[in-house]
Amino acid sequence: MLNKTLSETCNEVIFSSFFKSNAKMLRNFLFYKFGNKEKAEDLVQEAFIRLWQNCQDVPIEKAKSYVYTVANNGALNIIAHEKVVLNYSKTTTSRDKTHETPEFILEEKQFKKKLLTAIANLNETQRVAFLMHRIDGKKYIEIAEELNIGIKAVEKRISQALLELRKEINNLK
Amino acid sequence: MKKNYLHAKWLNEEMNEEELAAFQASDDYELYEKIKIYSSQLEVADFNEEKIIQKIISRKKTKTKQITLYTIWFSKIAAILIIVLGLFYSVEKISIVNQITDNGEKRTFLLPDHSEVVLNSGSEVNYKKWNWNTNRELKLNGEAYFAVTKGKKFKVKTKLGIVTVLGTHFNVKTKKNQFNVTCFEGRVKVNYQKAQLILTSGQSVTFENGKQTNTTSQITKPIWIDNQMSFQQEKLTAIITEIEKQYNVTIIIKTKNTENVFSGKIPTNNLDTALQIISTTYNLNYSIAKDQIIFEEK
């Protein structure tokens, strides 16, 4: 005698598509934050399991902030922060083929290395916002929603991140 | 304070031409441009979404099953517990044996370990038949003689005190405030309030209103078993009460001379003799009318 219809979140198709459009982003966010990919993936899994088990109580519109909150809370206790280790996409090629002299390639390699070190040395909030924009291609407004902060705060963090990166890279010369 | 985060604006390609021109003219523009380009080439390894989603969805199913299994398992245990407890309770309940003698009645019976109990008139004994051999304990109200077979501790609990033995012959008597234990064979431990003492054969102890009296005798079993009552300096009213109990009769005394004490034996199987002893001792006449016996002054 249930007068309450089954929540959409409990629908396997809807849940799966929600998972596919959000799981990797959540994993990335946790990874930018803590630098540990395996733990980030475990947290994603845990958060989505919680959502799936409580699907009746969480409407699909609120599911995103639910998994971010659950994963974030779960991470607060268990994860020791580590250096974020990133890779450059192998498929990307330089914009200008004509510049690919050995000197240029060497210089590019060195710069990439410096950039990685500088990113790893950013503080957590700046790094998370910066990488969400650069790697995940998110708009500032999306980042603001996911981090539960204002858009100005995102812009501030991004700007600070750029200033920090410049400073770090110049220091590494 | 209105603050424009120019770098953020630039990175998000939100600058107007003017702003962009100014920014491009700045010293570190080239460096920022490089950061922008190379940071966009960064990536994080994919992870196996398909595998994880399958894991999550199947997790719920197993979880639900676990709950049901757990619930069934739990209710099974609960049911078994209830049945076992119920059995315990009913076995206990059934196994309680209650022996009561009316006034004028004596009864001899055996306990499960073949210990003998002779229950005097107007007395009551309760014990649990179940598990008797490891827990020999009974409750007594009134008077009884025990011939206990050797074994584990044998306890007689009364309202006034506790008697503990291993294997022996003894008599326990309680009436109102009087608690009397007589040992005929072996050793008997008596607990009365905070006092504890050991009786050996032939010894007897009486507690009355907290007062302890020790006596010894040579008899080998209580005289009431041989249909006699023994009195040691007892008042007429106390003797009459005992006679009423033993013969199940009602006695009315019409005399003020009840303070004199009597010591001696009175039979419990011959009412005429008993009445004659009383009438001679106290110099009274007695008559039997209906269900009553009346003692009157001569």
What's the CATH number where A113 sits?
1.10.10.10
**Chain A residues lying within 8 Å of B38, measured CB to CB:** 88, 111-112, 115
Order of strands, edge to edge, in the sheet holding B116-119? B107-110, B116-119, B143-147, B169-175, B178-185, B203-208, B211-216
Mean pLDDT over A107-126 rounds to 89
- The residue-averaged pLDDT of B95-111 equals 86
Task: Considering only CA atoms, give the Rg of chain A.
Answer: 19
CA–CA separation, B275 and B287 (whole Å): 10
- The rounded percent of chain B whose pLDDT value lies above 70 is 94
Where helices occur in chain B by DSSP H, the ranges are 6-11, 17-25, 29-40, 49-95, 236-247, 271-282
Q: How many domains does chain A have?
A: 2
Residue A89 contacts B where some CB pair is shorter than 8 Å = yes
Q: Is residue A142 part of a domain?
A: yes
**Which region among A2-11, A128-137, B68-77, B114-123 has the lowest average model confidence (pLDDT)?**
A2-11
* Tens digit of each residue's pLDDT (9 = 90 or more) over B220-254: 778 788 888 888 788 888 888 888 888 888 888 88
For B140-163, write each residue's pLDDT tens digit: 999 999 988 888 889 999 988 899
The CA distance from B79 to B73, in Å, is 10
> Measured on CA atoms in the order B120, B126, B131, B135, is the torsion positive or negative?
negative
Overall size of chain B counted in residues: 298
Taking the model in full, what pTM does it have? 0.47
**Is residue A45 helix, strand or coil?**
helix
pLDDT of residue B1: 38
Name the domain boundary from A25, A48, A78. A78
Select from B2, B44, B60, B65 the residue whose CB has the most chain A CBs within 10 Å, as the one to mutate to test that interface: B44
Contacts 24+ apart (CB under 8 A), B273-277: B274/B243, B274/B247
Residue B3: its pLDDT value, please? 56
A79 has pLDDT over 70 = no
Residue A138's domain comprises: 97-171
B246/B105 Cα distance (integer angstroms): 7
CA–CA distance, A170 with A167 (Å, rounded to integer): 5
- Helices A12-34 and A37-53 pack at an angle, to 10 degrees, of 150
Q: Quick check: A149 contacting B, CB < 8 Å?
A: no
User: Are A105 and A74 within one domain?
Assistant: no
A91: pLDDT strictly greater than 70: no
Looking at the fold, whether A69 and A16 belong to one and the same domain comes out as yes
> Is the confidence at residue A160, as pLDDT, over 90?
yes
User: Do the domain assignments include residue A30?
Assistant: yes
Partner B contacted by A93 (CB < 8 A): no
